[in-house]
Amino acid sequence: MLDCDVLVVGAGVLGLSSAYHIKRNDPKKRVLIIDRNGGPGQGNSAKSEGAFRNIFTSETNYLLADSTIDWFFHLQNNLGYDLKLAPIGYLWLYSEAHHSRLEYAFDTMRRRGVELRTFEKEDLKRMVPDLVTDFNGDEEAELLGLEDVDVGVLGVKCGSVDADALVRSYESEFLKLGGEIRYSTTATRLILKPEEELGIPGEPFVWQESRVAGAETSRGDILAGTSVVAAGVWSERLLDPIGFDAAMRPKKRQLFVFKDPRLKGLLDVKELNEYGALPLTILPRAGVYLKGELTEGSIWLGCADELGRSFGLEDDPQPEEDYYTDNIYHVLVKYFPCFKDVRPVNMWAGQYAINSFDGIPVVAPAPGMIYVGAASGSGIMKSDALGRIVAALHAGEEEAELYGGRLFRVADIGIADRNVERETFII
Amino acid sequence: MLDCDVLVVGAGVLGLSSAYHIKRNDPKKRVLIIDRNGGPGQGNSAKSEGAFRNIFTSETNYLLADSTIDWFFHLQNNLGYDLKLAPIGYLWLYSEAHHSRLEYAFDTMRRRGVELRTFEKEDLKRMVPDLVTDFNGDEEAELLGLEDVDVGVLGVKCGSVDADALVRSYESEFLKLGGEIRYSTTATRLILKPEEELGIPGEPFVWQESRVAGAETSRGDILAGTSVVAAGVWSERLLDPIGFDAAMRPKKRQLFVFKDPRLKGLLDVKELNEYGALPLTILPRAGVYLKGELTEGSIWLGCADELGRSFGLEDDPQPEEDYYTDNIYHVLVKYFPCFKDVRPVNMWAGQYAINSFDGIPVVAPAPGMIYVGAASGSGIMKSDALGRIVAALHAGEEEAELYGGRLFRVADIGIADRNVERETFII
């Protein structure tokens, strides 16, 4: 009487990866993805900055990202998907004092085999001539609380990926295996049923073992053996009514795009990568980050606002131009005066699904259900590993084999038996 | 220019305890509590079952509760507050198989010095003649998935407290020290200001260090050096807008009260405590618990519904009589046939602030603010310890001294450096 073995709610990158790996593990299973949008990744996946890094303080995040990055290169180099991978690096800029506080974290990463390059101020000046490193005597900079740039730390296995191409590669591989997708189909409610139905109105009762049995959707009920909830920030709309904690809160994040002759130096930096593009560069203050986007010869810029930026689900979050002009601009133009009077040519906003407890994603089961989410803004770069963990959990395996062969204990990233270190390198 | 040194939002048990201990530590500080209700504890504190226990699997919860219980007895025996303390015990009923799975947890508690008494079936039959322990051949019981009762475990340092009397005792002690309370005053928004104000419209900007500087209320702004958010499930209304995660989700919990001659046996049990009242007794199935309530000669009964009971803040949650008649009743009447055809004479509902990650409360700072909450349904019995931890955090101390002298590392119960074991004995 089931409509499918596995129903995956959400054709974002986590839903697609989960569906693909479940289907790949067991091609006889009927796996169906539904999404309220008309195509893959049209929630927050495609709104992302499209960046990846293996630079995390927690071993868990490192494993998830590092193996997923390897998978990206496998998709592009061996399976022929043009993901526009550009390992331009991530470049953290620090004052001397700030950098020395983080030495232990960087040492831990190096011991894992993570490739980091450290640059002194003089190197940075040579490589990125547009960067201002010293604010000595600049009263405005002092007012802004700006720190000098003394050190740069470059993560090498880091860079850009085309998020849209990535979700389409998963979609394509999934469909090749015989997976099914229904777009423009909104899951409105998870269906709870007792494990053993008695046919009494009002079931499930509190004395019955109940389980998720599928979903009500805008195109009728879909009954499934297992329902995978991978709806990103929207997961709370499905999980709150059944009393399952999505373990995240949605928070808006904005991106601003610049294309201006005055910024051409940022697409012609030296020695940092083979592309000449500014790595994804994190300024010492105010959470501002920017990167050279090779696909369109532009600069993409965001800003991590923490205290003061509300939590709360929005269906269509809007960018705020004054967030750039009144907030980011004043800091940005001090470090990069080339932005003087340059205004964004494009901007958009999406939402992060922030896990405030430890900053690490969640893959957690309930009867008849698997929830994957709470990726805290770095879900794309962990997508392949998370999909494999979902598939392992679905298959009842204790360990998931990540791409490249490393093993990951599935329960570590759940809730009931969670065993992760809190991530401190959240951008 | 401050209206007070410390503003405490919420005159529930956690707010009152926090305010009292801050004021006690430093009587010169001006400490002001506001609450939207007309008196103390009128949110969820007074809706609680008024039960306490030192039986927890996590060391953290044990310390919080055990020391708070000692404080309750100090309040009653030395300070003269009639809290109607009745150490009637908590009685967990188990099948043999279920009990043996928990042996390790009970051994851990015993090693901490927790007094537990274990009873065999024959003991239980003698002590609680109304209890049915065997369902051999009862098809209905099988359908309900009921487990036989083979073992009872009694927590001795457990029982009843009058939640209303408790909040009034804190209120009274706080007022004696010169603390101030404004009732019927609703905090509508936390005020964020930059650490260094520049007087520019739009502050705080993202490049400024910002802090909570007080609250807008229904009776005007109140500026404070530190704001303590202790508004229980309502804390999310204040914290979401500033993007601080309350680390809990609200979930309704209901209580049903019975007063009927058929239940008199439950107020006349033997050997379990000196009162003859049924201990707070947890049935083996369906999360049903009940206790003899001495103050009114009644039975109070609740049921922990997990999957299927929605998350979501409600200002005035309503009890559902059919939750008793269709759900709880069928299980209850099998274990306690004396409930046959007995209907509740009173019922009400409140909300738990459930921390799904580890089931342990949170005391976490942000600039200018301390949040205390996420008590997961057992805040009253941990209230004194939590208030002392808030006061220690406010004073900048690394350790809080709990009542009786045990030390507690403040950061352990925060978010940034959280160090607790997940609680598994949640009712």
Q: Please answer whether residues B181 and B32 qualify as being in contact, where contact means their C-beta atoms are separated by less than 8 angstroms.
A: yes
Q: How confident is the model at residue B258, as a pLDDT?
A: 98
Backbone angles phi, psi at A170, to 5 degrees: -65, -45
CB neighbours (10 Å) of residue B125?
Answer: 16
Phi-psi region of A178 (alpha: psi -120 to 50; beta: other; left: phi over 0): left
Distance CA B135, CA B331 (A): 12
Q: Using an 8 Å CB-CB cutoff, list chain B residues near A332.
A: none
Distance CA A375, CA A248 (A): 8
Q: What is the mean pLDDT of chain B?
A: 96
Distance CA B157, CA A168 (A): 60
Is A415 close to B357, i.e. CB distance below 8 A? yes
Model confidence pLDDT, tens digit, residues A98-138: 999 999 999 999 999 999 999 999 999 999 999 999 999 99
3-class secondary-structure state, position B203: coil
Model confidence pLDDT, tens digit, residues B79-132: 999 999 999 999 999 999 999 999 999 999 999 999 999 999 999 999 999 999
Band of pLDDT at residue B1, cut at 50, 70 and 90: confident
Nearest chain A residue to B303, by CA: A206
Q: How confident is the model at residue B256, as a pLDDT?
A: 98
B207, B306, B327: residue with CB nearest A330 = B207
3-class secondary-structure state, position A381: helix
* Secondary structure string (H, E, C) spanning A294-318: CCCCEEEEEECCCCCCCECCCCCCC
How much of chain A exceeds pLDDT 70, in percent?
100
Is B209 close to A309, i.e. CB distance below 8 A? no
Nearest chain A residue to B283, by CA: A207
Distance CA B342, CA B286 (A): 19
Q: How confident is the model at residue B339, as a pLDDT?
A: 98
Q: How confident is the model at residue A316, as a pLDDT?
A: 95
B286, B354, B367: residue with CB nearest A206 = B286
Nearest to B229 by CA among B409, B5, B11, B48: B11
Backbone angles phi, psi at A25, to 5 degrees: -65, -35
Model confidence pLDDT, tens digit, residues B245-270: 999 999 999 999 999 999 999 999 99
3-class secondary-structure state, position A105: helix
Q: How confident is the model at residue A285, as a pLDDT?
A: 86
Distance CA B163, CA A107 (A): 52
CB neighbours (10 Å) of residue A157?
Answer: 20
Nearest to A130 by CA among A312, A274, A272: A272
Q: Which helix (H) or strand (E) holds A369?
A: strand A369-373
Q: Measured between CB atoms, does A210 come within 8 Å of chain B?
A: yes
Distance CA A115, CA A119 (A): 13
Distance CA A389, CA A362 (A): 10
Query: What is the least distance, in Å, from the CA of A12 to any CA of chain B?
Result: 25
Q: What is the mean pLDDT of chain A?
A: 96
Q: Please answer whether residues B107 and B100 qualify as being in contact, where contact means their C-beta atoms are separated by less than 8 angstroms.
A: no
Phi-psi region of A98 (alpha: psi -120 to 50; beta: other; left: phi over 0): alpha
Number of cross-chain residue pairs from A and B with Cβ atoms under 8 Å apart:
126
Handedness of CA B232, B238, B243, B244 (dihedral sign): negative
Both tokens of residue B65?
């509760």
Handedness of CA B22, B24, B29, B32 (dihedral sign): positive
Length of chain B: 427
Query: What is the least distance, in Å, from the CA of A321 to any CA of chain B?
Result: 14
Both tokens of residue A340?
């003087």
Backbone angles phi, psi at B378, to 5 degrees: -130, 45
Model confidence pLDDT, tens digit, residues A51-60: 999 999 999 9
| ipTM over the 0.90 cut-off | yes
Q: Which helix (H) or strand (E) holds B322?
A: helix B321-322
Nearest chain A residue to B238, by CA: A310
Residue A87: asked if its preceding bond is cis (omega within 30°), the reply is no
Distance CA B139, CA A328 (A): 69
Residue-wise DSSP of A59-83: HHHHHHHHHHHHHHHHHHHTS----
Q: Please answer whether residues A310 and B237 qualify as being in contact, where contact means their C-beta atoms are separated by less than 8 angstroms.
A: no
Partner residues linked to B51 by β-bridges: B160
Q: How far apart are the first and last CA of chain B?
A: 46
Residue A426 has pLDDT above 90, yes or no: no
- What secondary structure letter does DSSP report for B73? H
Strands (E), B161-315: 180-182, 187-194, 210-217, 220-229, 249-258, 280-282, 288-293, 298-303
Rounded to the nearest 10 degrees, how much is the dihedral formed by the CA atoms of B402, B408, B412, B416? 70
Both tokens of residue B425?
């004995």
B287, B306, B357: residue with CB nearest A357 = B357
